[in-house]
Structure 1
Amino acid sequence: MCAQRLWPTVQALGRGLINNRTEILQQGVKAYNVQNLNSSHHGPSHQQNAVPGQDRMQWTQRVTRTARGSFNKIVARSLHSGTVLFVKEFRDTENEHAHAVLRSLPAYSATTVACGDSFSHIFHQYHALPLSNLDWERCSAEEVANGFIAMSQQCLHRPMDLEDSQHSGLCTVLTDRLAHLSDNQLLMVLSALTLWPPTSSTTTPNFVAIWNALDKVCTDRMRRWDMTRMFLVADHWFALRLSRISMYNVQMTRILGKRVTSMEPSQLVQYLFYANLSRKLEPFIVMRELEKRLMEVLKDLSIEELGVISMGFFKTQTFLKNEKLIDAIIEKTQNNLECVSDASLCAILKVLRKSIPVTRWKSLHNLLESLGPQLPRLNHMCLLQVALLGNDLLVFHPQVINTIAARFAEDMNELRLKDLERLTFALMLYNFIPPSRPDIFPLIADELRRPERISEINHYPKCFVSCVVYLVTMGVYPPDLISAALQPSMLSLLGMNQHYSDMGREVNELDWSLEIEGPAKYPGFRLNPDLRCQLTKKYLGRIPLPTSKILTHQERLILEVQDKLGALLGGEHYVTASLVLPHVQTPDLVFCTTNDGEPVPIPQEYTDLPNTSLKRPLSSFDHLHWNAVVIGGRNSFIRNTNSLRGNVHMKNRQLSKLGYNVCVVPYMEYTKKSLRTKLGCLERSLQEGSNLRIEGRIESALVWIKGQSAQQEEMYG
């Protein structure tokens, strides 16, 4: 009965969606006409004239929220159960596809049921009198069950309302007698319930009484059933669209979780399907043993069954560790690319993206190469997963991304907002402008402006703001969209959802970027200075110290380069580590030179600047050249290339905009090298990006470092 206690709360939330929608955004940007902007939200330096008409957002953005800060979603009725659910505007059909895969294969014929299946009409023979006129209290449990089944079958020809008062007596008695039915009768009652038209919610009196009673009886009897019956009953709960809230599915996956390593191939597939529905894989399951079993049965599974398994792993956030199994899945996928369905391929790619270790990046690249010829036949959802496949390992396949970007550019009106955001992220990550569609970023901006997008932006404001941030990272600054993302009501909206808790980092980056390289006469919204200070402190990176007990790989690299750079310059006082850009967590190394390229000590006024401030070169020292050394760590470069990822490009661009000479030290040329080689790497980087006179400095640095080492040995014995 836990579900019965839960659902009144959910029903109340549903009523909030329908009746209590509250406008959270006060007429946002109002066609981005600056005369309509409330100047009190701007700092004094941002009250500018209106921008030209072509830069205006031609719609009034309205973002709404629902009860408890739930911002998703339209209300829709489920297919069979009458459950009022919050479903995406673009409905997810993955579970229906997975179930259809099971239904299509003989191995699952005894354990699955098609939605809408009915029993034989023999039950009508038992009730010559009108069923509604019987005195159900005087009937046996079997007669009551047969009566309900017969009544349910009539819904196939004459739909009826289960909540009609004429059925209340039957429903009440049935609920009381369920425990006295045989297992077969219980299953038939469960199936009969699927034949009724949906009720308004899961908590309508007759419906909730029946399904809660069925849930309890099925759960109580489960342990005496074999796996076939357990799966068959679970499939009826799926047909009712109650798997997520029924106790039966939770208990069944828990009980069978102890037997996964001995399951037959089809049983393992079906078990993971129900685990997917409950979004949980039992913690006591030893993944090593499960992966071993999957490796044993993989050859016996079709590519579509592999898709069902992959969906189960992804939805339960369970990812693979066995590299041999990962290789086998990649090989099986490559061998079946011409026949695999889009939905199954989607699921497989999602799991692979989160599972493939860096040691297998070449296999991932080969998979992308194999996917290339299949791209024209894939739908948008699958194309998006292909585009995202290499993101976690920074594996880039330009031809694949270019093809997908061109397809998305042609079909942009058909894409979900999330698709637009993820595509923009992939392009930003690789700092890639598709040669076939170099106009794609203005197209994305125009698509975000379309009035037809308002509803989606209302439901998914995070996607909208992230998309704007990625455009800015690529150097595209649409003033109207930036203003919409930074308006106070949008920020309030993002702050009300716990799943958006990290969005402060993005809006902080957006505001700082706007200050550094935004339009000169930007008239739109900016962050309140106090809020920006608060966010900057919250997400501020740290400057590593040699005395720190715990250092990341990047921090150790920064300290070592700082030490060697100080040796090249003639002393540690010539270089400082600084958070030049307070919205970027990784610090950079800064040093100054004269017009002749000679190093000079860092001015004290510069090192005294607060960490949370933007470190512009000091105008009072205009005779100096300011140089920034960016340490390109392991995650700064696209895999197996010398190309920087998009946000590092943005960092370098913004440093240059501030007035720094920028040079990059690539980790792959620096780490695990001899001292002389490391100094040579620094020399090349400084020659390319700074105005430092480098001649003869390597030999001087070697002498200085050896002298420092000798002093330390003498000091510490």
Structure 2
Amino acid sequence: MSFLARIVRKFAVPKYRTNILALNSLQNVSRQIHCSANLCLRMFMEHENNYAYSILENKGYTISLKSDISRNCISEQEFQEGLKSNWSKKSHTEIFDYFHKFALYCSEHKLCISNQIFDTYIDSLTDCIKLGTDEELKTLFYTLNKWPETPSIRTRNIIEVWAALDDECLNRLKNWSYDELLTYLSLFYMINVMKYSDYCIKALQKLASKAKNLTPAQLVPTLFFIGIWRKSPFDMHNLEVEINKKYSQFTIDELSIMSMGYFKSKTPIRDPELVQKMIDTVIENSKTIHEVSLAALLKLIRYSTKSVLDDRINRLLEALQHEVPRLSVMCNVHMALVGTSTLSLHKQCLNNIASKVIKSISQTRVKDLERLVLTYGTFGIRPDTEECFFTKVIDELRKPERAIEISKHGRSFACCIAYLTLLGIYPVDLISKVLSSEFREQTYGKYCFNYGREILTLNNVTEIFLSDANINLLDDKVKKILAKKYTDYVPREDYVKQYNITEQMFLDIAKVMKETRGGDDYVAGDHILPHYQRGDIIICTDHSGAPVPIKDVFKSSDFGLIRKRPDDNTWVVLVIAGRNALIHGTDNATGFFTSKVRELEALGYHGVLVPWSQYSKLRSTADKAVFLNSLIYNAVNKNK
């Protein structure tokens, strides 16, 4: 270790104030953490990673993380003598040997490597790491894993050891084969420093750039370690190409491990044919696939499939619906989310999932309840179960046992309550809890700009449906701040930009309405309900059916507040349900749009959903006008 590094350590890292001769005192102040040589038992290891690595290890793709090196623990006298040794006169082999002796002793006596008494030895150890052979480096990794766990990988002494190993592996990287690169990646994974290792970054970049030279047995662990790194190399697409070429050589478990790499590195699969192959593989193995493998594949399929033009997702859910009872709640949640993200509704599958969750709802996380309520709210359905699924969810969220979890995951709790409103469910006590100043400050902080859309949503539905309830509402200033954050600008013909399909549809409908109603003064675009992202088209007719000018009715100074019906004329709001607002294969809008219409009607407006699937087929202005007027007429007269 350099002289400067040692000086920095002395000032940056607190030392234990103790006497080297008072070993008992040292043991009392050292961190009492039990060490296990088997990394799979460590608390920070995720179950998914354990499962994936065990597959790699069983197939011989990676090395074992269990060390066979075992010796008897040294005595206290030998330990004391070792500490007093003049390390500068010892060979690197002797220093390496003492590293193992100290590890066994400290593991048995719960003595942490960060203790000041090891500083001199660690300095000598890190200085001679460059002299070790490749096999000796491996032994140092295994030995480091035998020491009692430290509070952090940046703790004094341990950071010096793994950083020195990192530097030396980086120096030798260019001389190692692909298998050797993967071997040392396994060792860095074992000591849990992959995200911070320069060697790991360079090794993964090299493996990705040489993807065409990798065998299937090398591709799988490469993607696994990319998932642990949680970032994508520059040449991630090369790996996808090779996976596609060698697809038939992979088992479904291997595909799931590679899926973890893509999903955790936030890299979607670009090739829709490869995604289709994965879906077909899941369908073929639906009865035997392990739930961890299934969850990994479902996450990547969802992440890589934003819209569907065929029935691939429905076929997937059709095959998986029968497996719901044997799968965990978390796996079933991912199954539900696959349909949600692509707006592919499979009612029986969702019914089965709800029945499964009800049976184990007390063990279901708030995060998972939130995602499931979002799914049912998006599709606007209430699952067909013996007990009401949403009643069970609400009762569960009311339990005192959930208080700690809710305090830790307050936003998931708030979102869950907000998603219930998509189905017209408004639990007053839970809404009141979310809108309380104490909950908002604990969950989001003091500054209102950090509030999520769910806070504005719950505030506004309270104003609309629960006006008599004693609930703490937001100030007008806060509502305006949040509305500016969460709403899009209303498209305008005089503002030139590249509008998306939904915005183009908005402009086209506004143009048609202006031409048929008398001009710009008779049609307005605005946000009646500011907790929704997109604005709507507003028109008005008097009691005789004549258009009414509304150009300056809604003042810009009131933007962010709910726009209540100005008078007793007939006010119609056209809600544009774009291509991504319709449930796949139907003309039905999602719950976000049907709930918007419900809220508009509660305010006295006539909400009219204009589905893209029907409107996009019309070509002439006359046909569009007839279609829109028909929708408006039906909405105005449906309750007469």
TM-score bracket, normalised by the shorter chain, equals: 0.7 to 0.9
Write the distance in 2 (CA, Å) between the matches of 1:341 and 1:272.
19
Matched, 1:616 2:564: yes
Q: Per the alignment, do residues 195 and 612 of structure 1 end up closer, same or farther by CA in structure 2, a change over 3 Å counting?
A: closer
Write the distance in 1 (CA, Å) between the matches of 2:34 and 2:106.
18
Counterpart of 2:28? Answer: none
Total equivalences in the alignment? 606
**Pairwise CA distance, 1:126:** 13
Matched, 1:449 2:398: yes
**Pairwise CA distance, 1:590:** 2.5
Counterpart of 1:527? Answer: 474
Write the distance in 2 (CA, Å) between the matches of 1:664 and 1:103.
55
Matched, 1:225 2:176: yes
What secondary structure does 1:614 align onto? coil
Counterpart of 1:536? Answer: 483
Counterpart of 2:18? Answer: none
Counterpart of 1:419? Answer: 368
Spell out the pairing of 1:474-623 with structure 2 (5 A cutoff).
474-496=423-445, 503-518=451-466, 520-550=467-497, 551-569=499-517, 573-596=521-544, 598-603=545-550, 606-608=553-555, 610-619=558-567, 622=568
Q: Per the alignment, do residues 506 and 79 of structure 1 end up closer, same or farther by CA in structure 2, a change over 3 Å counting?
A: farther
Contact 2:122 2:161 in 1 (8 A): yes
Matched, 1:461 2:415: no
Matched, 1:96 2:76: no
Counterpart of 1:362? Answer: 311
Q: Which moved more, 1:151-160 or 1:667-676?
A: 151-160
Matched, 1:669 2:623: no
**Pairwise CA distance, 1:136:** 5.2
What secondary structure does 2:267 align onto? coil
Q: Per the alignment, do residues 497 and 432 of structure 1 end up closer, same or farther by CA in structure 2, a change over 3 Å counting?
A: farther
Contact 1:632 1:664 in 2 (8 A): yes
What secondary structure does 1:235 align onto? helix
Deviations 1:230-289 (A, max 9, x none): 211221222222222333322321232321232111111111111111111112x051x3
Write the distance in 2 (CA, Å) between the matches of 1:635 and 1:77.
53
Letter in 2 for 1:184: E
Aligned pair partner of 2:185 in 226, 230, 234: 234
**Pairwise CA distance, 1:207:** 2.7
Write the distance in 2 (CA, Å) between the matches of 1:652 and 1:428.
14
Spell out the pairing of 1:341-380 with structure 2 (5 A cutoff).
341-356=290-305, 358-380=307-329
Contact 1:118 1:153 in 2 (8 A): no
**Pairwise CA distance, 1:480:** 2.1
Counterpart of 2:210? Answer: 259
**Pairwise CA distance, 1:646:** 0.8
Matched, 1:249 2:200: yes
Letter in 1 for 2:358: A
Write the distance in 2 (CA, Å) between the matches of 1:477 and 1:125.
64
Counterpart of 1:301? Answer: 250
What secondary structure does 2:617 align onto? coil
Write the distance in 2 (CA, Å) between the matches of 1:473 and 1:79.
49
**Pairwise CA distance, 1:478:** 1.7
Q: Per the alignment, do residues 509 and 402 of structure 1 end up closer, same or farther by CA in structure 2, a change over 3 Å counting?
A: same
Q: Which moved more, 1:357-366 or 1:185-194?
A: 357-366
Structure 1: segments with no counterpart, 5+ residues: 13-75, 693-717
Matched, 1:678 2:611: no
Aligned pair partner of 2:223 in 236, 257, 272: 272
Contact 2:589 2:611 in 1 (8 A): no
Counterpart of 2:139? Answer: 188
Write the distance in 2 (CA, Å) between the matches of 1:501 and 1:80.
47
Contact 1:113 1:232 in 2 (8 A): no
Letter in 1 for 2:416: C
Deviations 1:628-667 (A, max 9, x none): 2222211221111122211111110011001112222222
Matched, 1:688 2:639: no
Write the distance in 2 (CA, Å) between the matches of 1:431 and 1:641.
13
Counterpart of 1:651? Answer: 596
Q: Over the residues paired in the alignment, what is the CA RMSD in angstroms? A: 3.3
Q: Which moved more, 1:359-368 or 1:259-268?
A: 359-368
What secondary structure does 1:665 align onto? strand
Deviations 1:448-499 (A, max 9, x none): 222222222222221111112112232222222212212234333444499x
Matched, 1:213 2:164: yes
Write the distance in 2 (CA, Å) between the matches of 1:162 and 1:589.
68
Contact 1:575 1:601 in 2 (8 A): no
Counterpart of 1:119? Answer: 69
Contact 1:387 1:401 in 2 (8 A): yes
Counterpart of 1:173? Answer: 124
- Report % sequence identity: 26
**Pairwise CA distance, 1:154:** 6.3
Q: Per the alignment, do residues 280 and 112 of structure 1 end up closer, same or farther by CA in structure 2, a change over 3 Å counting?
A: same
Counterpart of 1:44? Answer: none
Counterpart of 1:139? Answer: 90
**Pairwise CA distance, 1:348:** 0.7
TM-score normalized by structure 1?
0.77
What secondary structure does 2:607 align onto? strand
**Pairwise CA distance, 1:153:** 5.3
Q: Which moved more, 1:407-416 or 1:539-548?
A: 539-548
Deviations 1:121-144 (A, max 9, x none): 5xx7999x9465353523211122
TM-score normalized by structure 2?
0.86
Q: Which moved more, 1:639-648 or 1:351-360?
A: 351-360
**Pairwise CA distance, 1:315:** 0.5
Letter in 2 for 1:657: A
Q: Per the alignment, do residues 560 and 605 of structure 1 end up closer, same or farther by CA in structure 2, a change over 3 Å counting?
A: closer
Contact 1:588 1:630 in 2 (8 A): yes
Q: Per the alignment, do residues 77 and 509 of structure 1 end up closer, same or farther by CA in structure 2, a change over 3 Å counting?
A: farther
Matched, 1:440 2:386: no
Spell out the pairing of 1:21-100 with structure 2 (5 A cutoff).
92-100=46-54
Write the distance in 1 (CA, Å) between the matches of 2:174 and 2:449.
42
What secondary structure does 2:344 align onto? coil
